[in-house]
Structure 1
Amino acid sequence: MSRHQEVKDLVDSLEGDFAKFYENGNKAAGTRVRTGMQAIKNLAQEIRAEVTAKKNEAK
């Protein structure tokens, strides 16, 4: 699976929890959103490291 698809899938998986939290005030959904956003942050950092490593290989 491509990294791009991983990011898209993770964002898509949070859609329902975003709606539950922002529209209905569901606190548990807010916790899941925060957890998911942390996972997105970690994945983004991994991707940044991979891109930097690949970029530096080309030199």
Structure 2
Amino acid sequence: MENYNKLKSLVASIEADADKFFNNGNSAAGTRVRKGLQDIKTLAQEIRNEVTSKKNDEKK
């Protein structure tokens, strides 16, 4: 659950930069959004692996 909370926090943290990029055309903010999305992708994959592991452990 800890990683899930980190994921929610990451999504919230890029909101301001997403607004700056999409509404104001700030390309530097776009770069920060892309980096944030990459971090989200990595963390989401970790969560997927945890869920799969826990699910498989319960079957044993």
**TM-score w.r.t. structure 2 length?**
0.92
Cα deviation 1:4-38 (Å, max 9, x = unaligned): 21011001100110010001100000000000001
Match of 2:37 in 1: 37
Give aligned pairs, total. 59
RMSD, aligned CA: 1.1
The runs of 5 or more residues in structure 2 that have no matched partner are none
Match of 1:21 in 2: 21
Q: Give % identity.
A: 61
**TM-score w.r.t. structure 1 length?**
0.93
Please identify runs of 4+ aligned residues in structure 1 that moved more than 3 A: none
